[in-house]
Copies of this chain bind each other. A is one copy, B any other.
Amino acid sequence: MSATTRIGSSFLCRPPQYLQLPEGFGFEHGQAIRPFTICYETFGELNADRSNAILVCHALSASAHAAGKYTPEDEKPGWWDGMIGYGKAFDLERHFVICVNLVGSCWGTTAPASVNPDTGKPYGSQYPWVTITDMVRAQRLVIEHLGIPRLRCVTGGSLGAMQVLMWAALFPDSVESIIAMAGAAAVPVEGVAWHIIGRKIIESDFHFRGGDYYESSEPLRGLQVARMVGHMTYLSQEALERKFGRRRRHGSSQFEIDSYLEYQGTKFSRAYDANSYVRIQAAMDEMDIEEIYGTLEKAFASYRGKALLISFDSDWLFPPAEVEKVDAALRATGVDSTYMEIVTGNGHDAFLIDFHLITPPVKALFARLEASRGR
């Protein structure tokens, strides 16, 4: 095992790695992109029998950089550093964690903004419409590339949780346990509606040009305002009241919530690509395990691993009842599934905030996995 440099509560991680697919990647809807690159990161060490790998699935706009810092000077560690690390819920003392940048995302994997070698121009509108199945299949290619026969756990929150459930449906034999937080088998209509409105905002931006904007101005304002809509879906009414209420910015008539939304929108539009946002969010809305398999029970019929499903009472994007429905289906097929509704004011974002609340059930699941192995 290589030495690990600790930096405060975080650690020094490896740079991103890239799986090159010279023969390309074929999308579920039929098109292909050739060549295709999948960006991923790994944390901790794979053990000798390759049995300690955890796949972490990221949400809408995150990246493969799930934990650690590349250099001690990095301002922030990876997006789930509160959960992944030495002694943390996904414990790198014992586990090897993999996070793969989603198909369609602009964080290293071949994306709409990537240059099409055939034309010398970015794919833009020519980039295929992605599905969650595409994302899971790309993750599986990385897992195979790493020579891992079976994952100890697949986990994630929000869109990450949806990938987790798709793993259990598509590759039931490859997964020993699933941990899904703040996500379900489909986005309920309220979330779909807000997502659709967000995409309309981007697509209505004068600069969007159907997605072929790379050679002119980018649809920055559209992406900013769409992100504001997205941000609202992550916040509970309680969090909005507590953090902002009707307060005005000091010395101005601007509402604090207005200033906050502008800040979030601007920050996001500087870092993320509008086409990637549209593609990945549409994939999230289109996924519907019941629609694909007929029933959730049929979808999970072959899955024999363990399951931990966590909902947050103030999450209105994925209300607890939606998560509980998945648990009920898993149990109905005989899966050892645990469901937990966590009380928190932090809404959908709780999986990125309330580490003290989500760590214990995760550790408990790993203890049970260890125990059943020992037997």
Contact = CB atoms under 8 A, between A and B. Distances in A.
Contacts of A221: 204
When all copies of this chain in the complex are counted, the total is: 2
Q: Which of the listed residues A196, A204, A244, A288 has the most CB atoms from chain B within 10 Å of its own CB? A: A204
23 contacts: A187-B246, A188-B246, A189-B244, A190-B232, A190-B240, A192-B257, A193-B240, A193-B244, A193-B258, A194-B232, A196-B258, A197-B225, A197-B232, A200-B225, A200-B228, A201-B201, A204-B221, A204-B225, A206-B206, A237-B316, A246-B288, A246-B291, A255-B285
B257 A189 contact: yes
A258 B197 CA distance: 8
B228 A197 contact: yes
Interface in A158-198: 186-190, 192-194, 196-197
A189 B245 contact: yes
A342 interface: no
B190 A237 contact: yes
A241 interface: yes
Interface residues of A, number: 36
A222 interface: yes
A246 B241 CA distance: 30
Interface of A: 186-190, 192-194, 196-197, 200-201, 204-206, 221-222, 225, 228-229, 232, 237, 240-241, 244-246, 255, 257-258, 261, 285, 288, 291, 316, 319
B190 A261 contact: no
Nearest to A316: B237
Contacts of A285: 255
Interface of A is mostly: helix
A246 B185 CA distance: 12
Contact of A204 (B197, B222, B241, B245): B222
B188 A229 contact: no
Nearest to A291: B246
Contacts of A246: 186-189, 192, 288, 291
A245 B204 CA distance: 25
Contacts of A245: 189
Contacts of A204: 205, 221-222, 225
